[in-house]
Structures are given as structure tokens and as C-alpha cells.
Copies of this chain bind each other. A is one copy, B any other.
Amino acid sequence: MTTLLSPEELEARLRDVGTRRYHSLHPFHKLLHNGELSFAQVQAWALNRYYYQAMIPVKDSAILARMEEPELRRVWRQRIVDHDGDHEGEGGIARWLVLTDSLGLHRHYVTSLDGLLPATKFAVDAYVHFVREKSLLEAIASSLTEMFSPGIIGERVAGMLKNYDFVSRDTLAYFDKRLTQAPRDADFALDYVKQHARTPEQQEQVIRALEFKCNVLWVQLDALYFAYVDPKMAYPGAFVPKEG
């Protein structure tokens, strides 16, 4: 890329990444939303995604630690509050554990990470390392998958409520909150990126950062599909579903 894009052109390029690479396109999500997964496969999804949820505020703290301006930090710290809450039992991670509880997974087992697929750990950790090691601009750009999340959340909640009798609006409460949090966060990050990617090289970097983040999400679903759908090649030590 050698020409400078206007902020609007850059936004269009970023949105295009989502239409090609966002994990809403992954076969595992189609199965999840269409009610084609078993209870045990949904357990495996919730168990593995717990690690992603748990590391989001670690990722955001790493970004916070790189921001030298109070006005930036004041905005970004809200993400950490959203995930950690103000008290025990509040916030996004706690809401995720309500879901894993409701799926019959022991809380200690979930938080121990004993049943986690190694590929989940590697993908999520890659995200944390990315925001520590790349430029602040790229770190912020990597959060931009949130631009696409209201669509997938709407589809997921409607599909899961319709198709699975083992979930309810209460146990999916995590996603309700994200419907307002994610667009607010995405708007801020998108404005930041459009303002601060001022050279063709920086614009290329932010597009790559968003592609990287799409990979982080996609690879987690590849690993779930591989271990629990087809060819069901389980990893030694990882969660083993007890079917029926």
C-alpha cells in the first residue's frame, strides 16, 4: 500500500477485513447459532472461551500501561471495569462464569484452565503479547473486531435461545452488556485509529493488526472444531465431553 487513504477509506478497508475474516463466518459459529451442537460441544466452547474472557482485562491493562496521556487512559480503563466489575461476582468475567456454571462446569475446573485446549492458550496469549510488543496504534487497532460484534451477538443470542433449552436470557447475560459496551469501545478505537494512522505504512499496520486479531478469534474456533466436531481429535488432558 503506497497511497495515503482518507480516514473514511481506511474505515472502509477495516470494515472489509471484517466481512472476510471475522469469526462470524466460521463453521463452528454457524453450528453454535443454528442449534447443531450438543450440550457437551457448547460446554467445550464456553470452557475454552473463558480463557479469552479472563485475559481481556490483562490485555487492556497492558494497553493502559502504554498510554502516556491521562485522557486516553481515562477512557480505556472503563474496559477493565467492565470486565472485572466493582465487586466480586460483577463484571464480564463473572457473567461468563454464570454461563459455565449453568452448563454444569465446575467453577474451579474452568478457572484452573486444566481442560483448556493448548491452541486456545497460544492464540489468546498471542493477543496479549501483540499489544505489549507492537505500537500503541496497532494495539488499539487490534481491538477493532468490536466493530463487528453486535451483529454476531444478536445472531448468537437469538439462535441459542431458540435452539437450546439449556441456555436462558439470564445465563447469556454476558452478551446483553456487550451490546452496549462494544459499540462504545469500538467507536473510540476507530476514531483513534482514523486520526493517528497518518502514513500509508501506519494505515497498513492497523489493517494488519485487525487481520491478526481476526486470526486470534478464528484459530480458537478451528481448535474447537478440530477437537470436538471433526475429526474430534482430542488433546491429551483437555476437556473430554460426557455425551448424553
Contact = CB atoms under 8 A, between A and B. Distances in A.
Nearest to A25: B236
A223 interface: yes
A226 interface: yes
Given A122-B119, A122-B126, A125-B126, A222 B233 contact: yes
A226 B225 CA distance: 9
A164 interface: no
B119 A223 contact: yes
A129 interface: yes
B118 A215 contact: yes
Interface in A214-244: 215-216, 218-219, 222-223, 225-226, 230-231, 233, 235-236
A131 to B, nearest CB: 13
Interface of A: 20-21, 27, 118-119, 121-123, 125-126, 129, 215-216, 218-219, 222-223, 225-226, 230-231, 233, 235-236
A233 B27 contact: yes
A122 B117 CA distance: 13
B231 A218 contact: no
Nearest to A212: B118
10 contacts: A27-B233, A118-B123, A118-B216, A119-B119, A119-B122, A121-B126, A129-B129, A215-B235, A225-B226, A230-B231
- Most chain B Cβ neighbours within 10 Å, of A126, A225, A230: A126
